[in-house]
Amino acid sequence: TSVFAQTFTNWELLLVDDGSTDRSTEVALGYVQRYPERVRYLEHPNHENRGLAASRNLGLYNSSAEYIAPLDADDVWFPNKLERQVELLTRNPEALMLYGASLYWHGWSGEPMDAARDHIVLPGVPVSKVHRPPSLLRLRLRGKASSPCPSDLLLRREAFRCLGGFEEGFSGIYSVFEDQAFLAKVFLNAPVYVTGECLDKYRLHPESLCAVQERDGAMRQIHAFYLKWLASYLSSRVVADPSL
């Protein structure tokens, strides 16, 4: 519903069904029926479950828009999110991607104690500027920059043509880091505009992918998988930057 509340009205909504087994298909098709000119339904062949990266790619490669904004099912955009980010990216034509701050949202539960835990996570890098590659990757690897939430990103479609989309090898437990792999590719290869504005809510709950893997003690293994992939990717790109 936060898409329909946007002050920026020139949008198309692509609903990607990753093999759902609840009422999600029915709900999605209901939106298509009500808004056929604005909403499209996509699924993998045979209604398969292929994971986050493959589902993001399905939506991204079916989009014909100049700008692409991922939105995970459990997150929320503020009403001016698209309007403000499109304005900022238009002002900075050299940047292929934009991100900012996010509200880490516990208060969705309606409980006052959870609402008290809500807090804004800032980017951790200088804002209101374009960062040249690979500065953001260097800062991220040193732990000196926050990782943007996928639902906060705005990208030019050409970024996917240049970088090849999300890495579908990040599946199963490793799907937690599919966004990190994509961001590493962007940070290594493309100028990125960073704003200090908070325009989305990142929902935190005990059944999220990150929470489940943390609880299962799998994060060390997942980090190692990501770093091995990153080392291979940097080698394939013949990156000679000694800091990286």
**pLDDT, tens only, 77-131:** 999 999 999 999 999 999 999 999 999 999 999 999 999 999 999 999 999 999 9
What's 107's DSSP letter? G
- For 16-31, b/e burial (b = at least 16 CB within 10 A) is bbbebeeeebeebeeb
Average pLDDT on 209-224 reads 88
Asked if the model's pLDDT at residue 237 lies above 90, the reply is no
Other residues' Cβ atoms within 10 Å of the Cβ of residue 137: 25
pLDDT of 180: 96
- For strand 192-203 and strand 97-105, is the pairing parallel, antiparallel, or unpaired? parallel
For residue 229, the number of C-alpha atoms closer than 13 Å in the C-beta half-sphere is 22
Bridge partners, residue 63, by sequence: none
Instruction: Give the model's confidence band at 52: pLDDT under 50 very low, under 70 low, under 90 confident, else very high.
Output: very high
Give me the amino acid identity at 205: H
Query: Please, are residues 206 and 106 in contact by the beta-carbon 8 Å criterion?
Result: no
Asked if the model's pLDDT at residue 181 lies above 90, the reply is yes
Asked if the model's pLDDT at residue 238 lies above 90, the reply is no
Q: How far is 62 from 55, CA to CA, in rounded Å?
A: 11
Q: How far is 145 from 196, CA to CA, in rounded Å?
A: 13
**Residue that is written with structure tokens 């890495």 in the block:** 167
Q: What are phi and psi of 200, to 5 degrees?
A: -150, 160
pLDDT of 186: 96
**Residue that is written with structure tokens 């339904």 in the block:** 41
Asked if the model's pLDDT at residue 240 lies above 80, the reply is no
pTM score > 0.85 for this model? yes
**Residue that is written with structure tokens 């996928």 in the block:** 150
Bridge partners, residue 154, by sequence: 98
Q: H or E element: which one contains 86? A: helix 81-91
**Residue that is written with structure tokens 């040193």 in the block:** 142
Asked if the model's pLDDT at residue 42 lies above 80, the reply is yes
- Under the phi-then-psi rule, with left for phi > 0, alpha for psi from -120 to 50, and beta for the rest, what region is 46? left
Nearest partner of 157 among 67, 61, 93, 82, judged by Cα: 67
Instruction: Give the model's confidence band at 207: pLDDT under 50 very low, under 70 low, under 90 confident, else very high.
Output: confident
Average pLDDT on 201-215 reads 86
Reduced to 3 states (helix: H, G, I; strand: E, B; else coil), residue 80 is: coil
- For strand 119-121 and strand 13-17, is the pairing parallel, antiparallel, or unpaired? unpaired
